[in-house]
Structure 1
Amino acid sequence: MTQVVAAYLDHLAVERGTARNTLDSYARDLRRYAAHLERQGVTDFRRITEAEVTGFGAALREGDDEHPPLAASSAARALVAVRGLHRFAHVDGLTEDDPAREVRPPAAAKRLPKALPVDDVLRLLDMPAADGERPLRDRALLELLYSTGARISEAVGLDLGDIDRTERTVLLDGKGGKQRLVPIGRPAVEALEAYLVRSRPVLASRGRGTAALFLNARGTRLSRQSAWQVLKTNAERAGLSASVSPHTLRHSFATHLLEGGADVRVVQELLGHASVTTTQVYTLVTVNTLREIYATAHPRALG
């Protein structure tokens, strides 16, 4: 076992150029693997079976007499090291088969999307001034992002013809070239109208003509990075900088809809998710909110 591990780590360092920190982590993980096998009475590397590899994975999450339980991410890294070790040994002809081939690392726990409280969103949307070329554009952009749940890339990809102010809808180009028609709220429509009438013509005069909805100071299409900067700048002005990411308004859109009673499949369509499973992570957010309310309001909640 020691010789195989040494040969594998040498292979990673010399032939794969693996970073020193990664090598050190793998070495620790594989020492723990060797110790686990020894406790199971397995001393011949060639006789390791899938059951031993799976058992090691379980031991990582449950802990043992010498080690505390590992988080899913750390356990996954350790199993990646073990899988790599067995694959190397098999390819090099040291073993007849690869017992770790079908063993999968544990899935990382789903991280709940961060959503802003409604009051924080309203404060953010009120940050851009009500006049001026860029402030009018920025207000329209932020209103549209929250009103439609669009990704920033979808918003900056909009053309003038994608907005129907009469029907109050916007046509978004989502992932995989899939389009979706999404309703847009009246405040967003009003912000867009103010931008289209009083701001966009001035910005457009500086360029060479483009159908893009949102323009930069040169009269060309606003980039995703610039749109993200608009969000970041106004979030800082609103005192929300620590809570904001490029997807913040999209997360807030979904969470607030579900908290308001919207069906998860409707939200799935609005977000453009291919599977409802992707959307259901937002229901975890609303369940947490319900749990907090229950804990503070129900007389027997703490019993």
Structure 2
Amino acid sequence: MIPPLDPVVAQIIPLLPLRDPATMTPHSARDALRALAASRAAVPPPPVMSTEDIKVKGATGFLAARAYRNSNDKSPTVVFFHGGGWVAGDLETHDRQARWLAIETGAVVVSVDYRRPPEVRFPGAFEDAFTATQDVIARIAEFGGDAARVGVAGDSAGGNLAATTAIACREAGIGLAAQLLVYPVTDVAGNFADAMENARFPSRAENAEGYFLTRATMEWFCGHYLEDKTHGTDWRVSPLRAKDLAGVAPAIVCTAWFDPLRDEGKAYADTLKAAGVPTSYYDGLGLIHGYFGLGEASETARREAQRARADFKALLEKGA
């Protein structure tokens, strides 16, 4: 029997933004996510030893980034990409997630502020993510100091960037130790508007609305990221459509049961396993998209996120 929606999460849903694409603009979406982060300013952030605002290379110039450290010892390094539908989200909106990642994995976490649409459309964010990962590896002595223990991680659109970066690293002969994909976008063919494509993933209908992220909002995000709908079949935005996933980094894939993205995330985990990639999958029973940011309110969310981060830590420690 499938557990019902977590009651704590149910109380939070009405307070969450980005639920009305009919009136949403890129500017308002960004402001709404920043306001949500700012609303928790009175709650002390999870303590790490240090944070440092830095620059990393992007595809066309330097990008803002933030390095989180919990130790000066040699350690793994994680390149982290924030969510927000590619359009919104930044270093501040995902500061707490990056901190928990550093605390629970022992890694130096480098959170990257990639370029966003509509100012820069596909493949800009992907190219920034891959270039930033290459730059962090080239400068590994400045971070964890161990090139054999580098991973990528991200949530939602950031999970999409982590997944596609992992494929690009495989293509370039770069060995990553692990990838943590948190409710990732894995197949945008049809821009979430095509009935035949949507029918491949029942969660797009089952969870189309009512649980924070809606199918209509995903259509809005895709419409901003992809200038041409035909780009949706490109693996650099739809990793589920990659011809071959063999040899990509071992993966932790997390979905949320009450999320339109649930089934494509599960399909990606299954496809990774079929390609021989060591993969752990968590289905997020009782939870919604965004639950990695709800762990301080919901015990169910906290436990699920901790399990995933513990598995990610184990992969990082093992090394590439």
Same fold (TM over 0.5): no
Relative to the length of structure 2, the TM-score reads 0.20
Q: Whose strand proportion is higher, 1 or 2?
A: 2
Return the structure number with greater relative CO, CA threshold 8 A, min gap 6.
2
Bigger proportion of residues as helix: 1
Query: Max radius of gyration: which structure?
Result: 1
Question: TM-score of the superposition, structure 1-length normalised?
Answer: 0.21
